[in-house]
Each structure stands twice: as structure tokens, then as C-alpha cells.
């Protein structure tokens, strides 16, 4: 399957992708803006910007705590979106994908949201609690606003994998294991076959997320997939530097990035 260049050419690479997830507003909006830029400098290819939500069905405890901290900061869907132009001013050029649950989208209004995403330079939308079969109308609206609709495929969706993969845009989010997000020591032996199945049908890059938390895991997944999505591990690194990151200085960012560099490159 030939991989096409999604995100209107903003995505420069289609292999060994590094896709970090960060929570908007955790621990502060200014940290989010600066950290997004620094992640790009560390080699991030796409940024997943999470929206804090009070009932995050797919999120494990680390990201739940991150969302709670952001909500205490008064972060909302609208405020999170408005961070992206600030990121662009700082120098962020990579695609930004908004990660949110459907309830905030419904409250905001689907078309109103897509207009706002387009206006603020956001390139993709991922809604983990909106089933594939119920997403078609919103996906069509995304196309009208030049927003990539990011689909998820899990190991238990075997009957639908072919259809999900063939219709994927932007990149295909392969869920490494069932359950919520969070760091894991190992993956199922079936993960290799699952990734190969996704790549057989997808014409966009296949990135694997949920549980990737070590350099060895990244290297292992990249043998078969086109990239990795890392959320909980990055959030935990930030969490371990609280309260320093509430008023971060250069030394704080240096310490955080050193750990992320080791995660990515083992050095």
C-alpha cells in the first residue's frame, strides 16, 4: 500500500513518527505553548492536544490527573483551541490534532467547532468515544473544513479493521491493547500481526498508542508500524517535576526534555 502525504504536506515524514500527547493547560497554558514548541524541536512530527474532560472513558489515571489539573486552571475546549495560534506564533509548524470526547463537541456544536478549528490552525480531530459507524457525518464535515478525521482501530475490531483502515485520513491510530491509556511493561504477542493487518489496508501512516513507555518499546513498535503515540509517559514526566513546571525556567524544561530524549533515543 502506497502511503500518501496527509495534512496538506505539513507532515514531512511518514515513518518513525513521534506523536506526543499533551494536555492543554496542564499545568498551565503558558507551559503548554512552550512545551509544544520544544517537543517539535525534539523531533515531534504531529502534536496531539488533549482537552480536559471530567469523564474521560479511554484515559488511565495519569492522564485523568492531568485533566483534573488543567480543569482547575479553568481550561475549556475553546481556550485550548485558542492556544494553537500562540503555538504557531512561537514557531510550531507541525500538524496539531485535537483529542476530545464527544460531549464537549456536542455542547460546542459540530459545525461551529470545525469552523473554529480551521480558523485557529488545527489540522485534525480525534474523538475516541464516537464509534466508527456514527462518525461518518462528522467526518464528511471535517473534509469540508480541511480537517483530517483521525480513526482508531483496536485489536477487538477485526471485522471492521479493513473498512476503518481504508477510510482513515491523516494517520490511523492503532490501539496497542484493550482498556484505558497508561504505561505497560509489555504488549500482546498478537500486536505484530495487528499492525501488519492495519498497514495492509491503510494508505496513511499507522501509528500505535496506548501504553508505550520505554525506548525498547518504541524501537520494537517502529519495526512494524509507521510511528508511536506517547501520552501517559510524557504526562508522568511532567507530573514528576511538579511544582517546578508551574513556573518553569530553562533548567526545568532541560530536565524534562532530557528524560524525553532518553525515552526516544535511549541516550
SS3 18: strand
pLDDT at 243: 78
Say if CB 53 and CB 100 are below 8 A apart: yes
Q: Is residue 166 part of a domain?
A: yes
Residue 48 annotated in active site? yes
Is the pLDDT at 206 greater than 70? The verdict is yes
Q: Is residue 128 part of a domain?
A: yes
Is the pLDDT at 247 greater than 70? The verdict is no
Is the pLDDT at 179 greater than 50? The verdict is no
Q: Is residue 9 part of a domain?
A: no
* pTM for the predicted model, two decimal places: 0.93
d(CA 118, CA 110): 12
Q: What is the DSSP string of 53-100?
A: -SS-TT--HHHHHHHHHHHHTT--HHHHHHHHHHHHHHT--S-EEEE-
Name the active-site residue from 26, 45, 59, 167.
59
Name the active-site residue from 48, 123, 167, 226.
48
Residue with cell 501488519: 196
Range of the domain at 94: 15-265
Residue with cell 505497560: 184
pLDDT grade for 3, boundaries at 50, 70 and 90: low
Looking at the chain, the whole-number percentage of residues with pLDDT higher than 70 is: 91
pLDDT tens for residues 160-172? 899 999 999 999 9
Q: Is residue 10 part of a domain?
A: no
Is the pLDDT at 252 greater than 90? The verdict is no
Q: Is residue 159 part of a domain?
A: yes
pLDDT at 251: 78
State how many domains the chain has: 1
Looking at the chain, the whole-number percentage of residues with pLDDT higher than 90 is: 76
Is the pLDDT at 246 greater than 80? The verdict is no
Q: Is residue 160 part of a domain?
A: yes
pLDDT tens for residues 48-106? 999 999 876 757 899 999 999 999 999 999 999 999 999 999 999 999 999 999 999 99
What's 208's domain CATH number? 3.20.20.70
pLDDT grade for 139, boundaries at 50, 70 and 90: very high
Q: Is residue 231 part of a domain?
A: yes
Sign of CA pseudo-dihedral 267, 181, 3, 51: negative
**Per DSSP, what are the bridge partners of residue 230?**
20
pLDDT at 167: 95
Q: Is residue 8 part of a domain?
A: no
Sign of CA pseudo-dihedral 27, 28, 34, 39: positive
pLDDT at 181: 46
SS3 50: strand
* Closest C-alpha to 105, from 80, 88, 73: 80
Amino acid at each position: 500500500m502506497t502511503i500518501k502525504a496527509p495534512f496538506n504536506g505539513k507532515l514531512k515524514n511518514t515513518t518513525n513518527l513521534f506523536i506526543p500527547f499533551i494536555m492543554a493547560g496542564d499545568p498551565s497554558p503558558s507551559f503548554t505553548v512552550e512545551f509544544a514548541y520544544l517537543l517539535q524541536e525534539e523531533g515531534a512530527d504531529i502534536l496531539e492536544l488533549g482537552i480536559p474532560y471530567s469523564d474521560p472513558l479511554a484515559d488511565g489515571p495519569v492522564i485523568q490527573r492531568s485533566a483534573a489539573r488543567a480543569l482547575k486552571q479553568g481550561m475549556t475546549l475553546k481556550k485550548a483551541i485558542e492556544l494553537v495560534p500562540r503555538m504557531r506564533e512561537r514557531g510550531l509548524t507541525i500538524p496539531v490534532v485535537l483529542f476530545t470526547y464527544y460531549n464537549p463537541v456536542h455542547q460546542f456544536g459540530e459545525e461551529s467547532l470545525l469552523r473554529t478549528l480551521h480558523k485557529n490552525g488545527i489540522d485534525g480531530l480525534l474523538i475516541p468515544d464516537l464509534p466508527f459507524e456514527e462518525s461518518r457525518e462528522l467526518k464528511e464535515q471535517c473534509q469540508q473544513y480541511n480537517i483530517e478525521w483521525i480513526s482508531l482501530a483496536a485489536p477487538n475490531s477485526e471485522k471492521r479493521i479493513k473498512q476503518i483502515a481504508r477510510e482513515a485520513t491523516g494517520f490511523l491510530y492503532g490501539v496497542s491493547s484493550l482498556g484505558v491509556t497508561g504505561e505497560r511493561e509489555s504488549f500482546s504477542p498478537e500486536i505484530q500481526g495487528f499492525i501488519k493487518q492495519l498497514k495492509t489496508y491503510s494508505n496513511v501512516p499507522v501509528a500505535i498508542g496506548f501504553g508505550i513507555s520505554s525506548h525498547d518499546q518504541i524501537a520494537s513498535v517502529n519495526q512494524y508500524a509507521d510511528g508511536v503515540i506517547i501520552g501517559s509517559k510524557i504526562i508522568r514526566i511532567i507530573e514528576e517535576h511538579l511544582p517546578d513546571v508551574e513556573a518553569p525556567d530553562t533548567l526545568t524544561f532541560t530536565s524534562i526534555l532530557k528524560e524525553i530524549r532518553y525515552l526516544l533515543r535511549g541516550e
